[in-house]
Amino acid sequence: MGGRHLEKRGDDYEALKQRIADQLIVQVNQRLPGFADLVAYVDVSTPLSMQHFVGHRRGAFYGVPATPRRLFQPWINARSPVPNLYLTGCDVLTAGVVGALIGGVKTAGVLSGPLGFVRLMRKMGAL
């Protein structure tokens, strides 16, 4: 990573990450029996990982703060200033996995023309 070295946080830290990974796999396996048998590799990321690799201050998982103000920013948009370049993901609408999903729907709606988002949401039964 551009000359950066990965800090060693010690055996206790690595053991904690492994326990978290194991618990998550157990929980998913309880709902989806056989899931654990499909897992070939596990890597747990923490706020320290986010700070180190992505450079997010204090390990924040989202680049744009998840506050109500973000929804009214002109740059929270599927349209970019570059012609025919559209954006999607959690910074197009709201944070998180669901935000990324809805960001994709928003971008598809923009590409679908006027009221495209509303039409897509109706088709999905959300409105």
Sequence-ordered alpha helix ranges (H) in the chain: 11-31, 35-38, 47-49, 96-111, 116-123
Q: Give the pLDDT confidence of 88-123 residue by residue, as tens digits.
A: 988 788 777 888 888 899 899 999 999 998 998 898
Contacts of 96 (CB under 8 A, 6+ apart): 62, 66, 90
User: What is the residue type of 108?
Assistant: A
State whether residue 79 is helix, strand or coil: strand
Residue 11 has pLDDT above 60, yes or no: yes
Rounded Cα distance, 93 and 3, in Å: 34
* 78-88 pLDDT per residue, tens: 988 899 999 99
Which has the minimum average pLDDT: 5-9, 28-32, 67-71, 102-106? Answer: 5-9
Q: How far apart are CA 90 and CA 105, in angstroms?
A: 11
Q: What are phi and psi of 111, to 5 degrees?
A: -70, -20
Q: What is the mean pLDDT of residues 43-66?
A: 74
Task: Quote the mean pLDDT of the chain.
Answer: 83
